[in-house]
Amino acid sequence: MEVFLSSYGAAIVQMALAGVLALSLYLPLMAGQLSLASPGFYAVGGYTAALLSTTVFTGYANGSYPIPLIVVEMVIAGGVSALFALIIGIPSLRLRGIYLALATIAFIEILRVFALNQPWLGGAVGIYNIPQPFFSATRIEYLLLALPLLFGAMFFVARLERSRVGRAFIALREDELAASAMGVRPTYYKVLAFTLGAVLAGMAGALNAHILNTWNARQGTFDLSILILAYVLVGGSRTFLGPVIGGAFLVALPEIILREIAGAPGLNPVIATFLRDGRLILFGVLIAVSVFFFPYGLITPELFKRRRKKPEKVTVEAAKPTPNVRGGNL
């Protein structure tokens, strides 16, 4: 157990955070909006927490930073991210499909260059010595914060899907015009979904700023956008469990390849080297392959329904392959 935690502690915490980030992209997608802005809000959240804990809530010895203060930071970070989301979202959510995705890429890049050049954000070095509430090297204690955040986010999204607002989101995803003909205000609900996603990303960023101990402009860049998108699409974009499992799976995968498979005794040293140094190659290939073999993601709503009742009657219409994501006209 000790060994397991020391090698996987940090990874398990990151698996939970990946789930939260994946849900932050899933929320706008629920309303039919392909937004790649989550890393931007994640960065905003991280900077918020880093600033608060190093300049406002000072005076705590390292290792004894109060956990409630981190919760307070997470709430504030969520609020700041929501504010950014409103400013960005209201003008840009008129855009559809790939155009929205490109606008959100522009947002994260502008944010990155801005952060890189602001002395009060630490410039290129960033903000460091962010105080820790725990002494441990494994970081596993952070699960005390990361798991409630993940489960809270899962509860939130799961309940939302079965509520009036969630149904309005899904109606927009399915057919924006028909939804508006039924009285759903498209812009309002798109901005709402975008903002809710931003709050989740901001909170994840705030927590990760403490976990990583330092925060800079390399956090929350375009690389993370594509990674989060992969979490959602590999996991499945039609139920909230898909993104969570996709995130956990894709964070765990390189770690498992590195520590278990490449480290297995008796393995050919050339293969072991390849697995260790080239694990990201496998990672890329697996993403491409999984999209081909699991176009609806690993987790689909049908997975749960089949067990409960007999399959729905299939008509010609249903037999046609239907896209599992309506990101718009890409």
Partner 1 sequence: MKLTDQSSQQYRRLWWFASRGLAAVAAVLLIAAVIGAPSGLQNLFNGLAIGGVYAIFALGYTLIFSILRIINFAHGAIFTLGAYFTYFLTGAAVGFNGLLANQKLPFGLPFPLAMIGGGILAGLCGIFIERVAFRPLRNKGADPLLTLVSSLGVAVAIVNIIQLLVGAEIYSYPRNPFGEMPAALNLGNFGGLTARPIIIRTIQVIIFGVSMVTVVLLTYFINGTKTGKALRAVAEDATTSSLLGINTNRLILITFFLSGLVGGIAGTLVGLSVNVSGPYFGINFGLKGLAVIVLGGLGDIPGAVVGGLVIGVAESFVPSEYVAYKEAIAFAVLFVVLLLRPQGLLGRVVVQKV
Partner 2 sequence: MSAEIMLEARNMTRRFGGLYAVDNVSFEVQRGEIFGLIGPNGAGKTTLFNLITGMTPPTHGELVYKGENITAKRPHEIAMRGIARTFQNIRLFGSLSALENVMIARHIHTKSGVIEGVLGLRPAPQEERATRQRALELLDLVGLADSAETKARNFAYGDQRRLEIARALSLEPELLLLDEPAAGMNQSEKSSLSEFIRRIREQFNLTIVLIEHYVPLVMGLCDRIAVLNFGQLIALGAPEKVQNDPAVIEAYLGD
By CB under 8 A, name the binding residues for partner 1.
34, 91-92, 94-95, 98-99, 102-103, 105-107, 109-110, 113-114, 116-117, 177, 222-223, 226, 229-230, 233-234, 274, 277-278, 280-281, 283-289, 291-292, 295, 321, 323-327, 329-330
Q: Round to whole Å and give the CA distance between 257 and 272.
A: 10
- Tally the C-alpha atoms within 13 A of residue 10's C-alpha that lie toward its C-beta: 11
In eight-state DSSP terms, residue 121 is G
Q: What is the largest CA-CA distance in the chain?
A: 68
**Can residue 178 be called a binding residue for partner 2 (CB under 8 A)?**
yes
Of 9, 8, 27, 10, whose CA–CA distance to 242 is shortest?
27
Of 301, 312, 76, 287, whose CA–CA distance to 202 is shortest?
76
Among 30, 44, 184, 211, binds partner 2 (CB under 8 A): 184
Q: Give the binding-site size for partner 2 (rule: CB under 8 A).
A: 35
Nearer to partner 2, 182 or 267 (CB): 182
Residue 287: name its binding partner from partner 2, partner 1, none (Cβ under 5 to 8 Å by kind): partner 1
Q: Round to whole Å and give the CA distance between 197 and 157.
A: 10
Nearer to partner 1, 94 or 185 (CB): 94
Q: Round to whole Å and give the CA distance between 301 and 242.
A: 9
Question: Three-class SS of residue 215?
Answer: strand
**Can residue 310 be called a binding residue for partner 2 (CB under 8 A)?**
no
Nearer to partner 2, 110 or 182 (CB): 182
Residues engaged in binding partner 2 (CB under 8 A): 155-156, 159-160, 163-168, 170-171, 174-175, 177-186, 192, 196, 238, 309, 312-315, 317-318, 322
